[in-house]
Amino acid sequence: MSDRASDAATAALPLAGALVVEFCQAMAGPFCTQMLADMGARVIKVEKPGGDDSRGMPPYTIGDSSAYFAGPNRNKESIVLDLKSDEGREVALRLIERADIVVENNRPGVMARLGLGFEQAKAVNPDIVYASISGFGQDGPYRDMAAYDPIVQAMSGVMSLTGEEGRKPVRVGVAIGDLTAAMLAAFGAVSALCGARADGIARHVDASMLDGQIAMLQYHLVYYLFSGIIPQRQGQRHSGVPEQGEFTASDGVTLFIAPMAEKMWQPLCRALGLDDLAADPELSTRMKRMGHIDAVRGRFEAAFASRPAQRWVDVVRAAGIPITIINTLDRVAVDPQVLHREMIADTEYAGEAVKLIGSPLRINGIANQVQPPPRLGQHSRAILQDLGYDATAAEALLATGHVAALA
């Protein structure tokens, strides 16, 4: 067992005592299981010989693994199994037999061909929760197509909405397709676990990257379904909030304001020293301002250009209007709220001090302790012992090469 299992803070979390077995690589599946680990579950990551492909992702490395791998793989254990071998499959089935949740993000059908699909898992564990994450789901005409995050962004329409008016579509800067599917799979898995514990019936959670992006479209797609008008790229603007957007202060720093409530119009104008706009009856409602937005934004641009950014942040926030500097990640990493919430966590990896992203989840104020991502095969021997293999049997398995451990 890992040291996490005996940690008092982890033991107080809602998934403490639950075992999650992960057959995943890259981003979507590992981020899903990391969320489950954040809620106290013990997560065993099953890796192929050579490890998760993302361990070698350039350009930055931590120890013998990439920074990309480190991101979604903290708070886990690692065992190396060749799932195409009888020995590796036997160990995997023993893990599944003891698991509460299995998560996999292979193409549909791959796990079944290995003898480790939902039906095979259910045969050895009748109340298993089995979560599958894929590009397009376990059925449908796209079922067998390969999918990566930018492909799904493009297919879903998300990319068509991202970027500046009149310019080419732009990919969202974070892996929103992967991460949304991961969060939906985690939500589905814990929901299914409640049901499985109540009635003892196995459940298969089917999370699709494309489905997740369609769900994320929300009002954009609903606007089209209501009107038949295809939404276009708006850049930093908002079709229903004409005052929203970015403005440059006198020191060249870019600000973003989001006065989403109608009641914010007059306080915003007064904070900017534009009392005449606040009093103008032709601008008294958002619908009226839609017809004068270029003139309004021109006045806003001139006002913001008259003072440094931080001065505007102080003045506009004091008026109750959401405003921020558009932060680069160096600013984010030292932001006082981010640090207070322990979203930048200190840990160690391969003997080196490193910083990772902390858990975004709190229950009763408790956040899971951040443990470093596992080294390849770091926990193989301990996991085999937990599965009932004595030292002789474990070493015999390791001698086959189909089960491997950290040297």
Q: What is the pLDDT of residue 155?
A: 93
Task: Report how far residue 173's alpha carbon sits from residue 344's, in angstroms, rounded to the nearest whole number.
Answer: 20
Reference 368, options 30, 154, 32, 74; nearest CA is: 74
Q: Are residues 294 and 181 in the same domain?
A: no
Beta bridge partners of 80: 47, 404
Residues 249 and 320 in one domain: yes
Kindly report, residue by residue over 245-276, the tens digit of the pLDDT: 899 999 999 999 999 889 999 999 999 999 99
CATH number of the domain residue 304 falls in: 3.30.1540.10
Q: Three-state SS for 309? A: helix
177: in domain: yes
Is residue 309 a contact partner of residue 325, using CB atoms and an 8 Å limit? yes
pLDDT at residue 1 in the model: 35
Q: Indicate whether 324 and 352 sit together in one domain.
A: no
Whether 353 and 326 map to the same domain: the answer is: no
Residue type, 252: G
Determine, yes or no, domain membership for 26: yes
Whether residues 312 and 365 fall in one domain: no
Residue 114 sits in the same domain as residue 32: yes
CATH number of the CATH domain containing 350: 3.40.50.10540
Same domain, 253 and 325: yes
Question: Could you say which of 269, 297, 332 is where a domain stops?
Answer: 332
Asked if residue 269 and residue 162 are part of one domain, the reply reads no
**Contact criterion met (CB below 8 Å) for 136 and 147:** yes
Residue 278's nearest CA partner among 291, 290, 269 is: 269
Domain membership of residue 16 (yes or no) is yes
Q: pLDDT (tens digit, 9 = 90+) per residue, 49-106?
A: 999 999 988 898 877 788 899 999 999 999 999 999 999 999 999 999 999 999 999 9
What's the half-sphere exposure (Cβ side, CA atoms, 13 Å) at 355? 7
Residues 116 and 157 in one domain: yes
Strand partners, 160: none
Q: Give the whole-angstrom CA distance, residue 326 versus residue 333.
A: 13
pLDDT at 2 over 60: no
Residue 228 in domain: no
Same domain, 313 and 264: yes
Residues 134-186 pLDDT 10s: 999 999 999 999 899 999 999 999 999 988 888 899 899 999 999 999 999 99
Q: Per-residue pLDDT averaged across 214-221, rounded?
A: 92
- Catalytic, out of 204, 238, 340, 402: 238
- Nearest partner of 4 among 52, 36, 48, 47, judged by Cα: 36
Work out the pLDDT band at 291, boundaries 50, 70, 90: confident
pTM for the structure as a whole: 0.89
Ramachandran sector of residue 51 (left: φ over 0; alpha: ψ -120 to 50; beta: rest)? left
* Secondary structure (3-state) at 324: strand
Place of tokens 């060749």: 82
Residue 118 has pLDDT above 80, yes or no: yes
* Lowest-confidence region among 143-147, 192-196, 202-206, 364-368: 364-368
Q: How far apart are CA 80 and CA 46, in angstroms?
A: 6
Q: Which of 312, 332, 352 is the last residue of a domain?
A: 332
Comparing 67-81, 299-313, 348-362, which segment has the lowest mean pLDDT? 348-362
Mean pLDDT, residues 1-13? 59
Q: Which domain holds residue 251?
A: 245-332
Is residue 231 one of the residues assigned to a domain? no
Other beta carbons within 10 Å of 168: 8
- Phi, psi (5° rounding) for residue 323? -150, 150
Q: Are residues 323 and 363 in the same domain?
A: no
Please check whether residue 225 lies inside any domain of the structure.
Answer: no
- 38 with 97, same domain: the answer is yes
Q: Does residue 340 carry a catalytic annotation? A: no
What mean pLDDT do residues 194-217 have? 96
Q: How many domains does the chain have?
A: 2
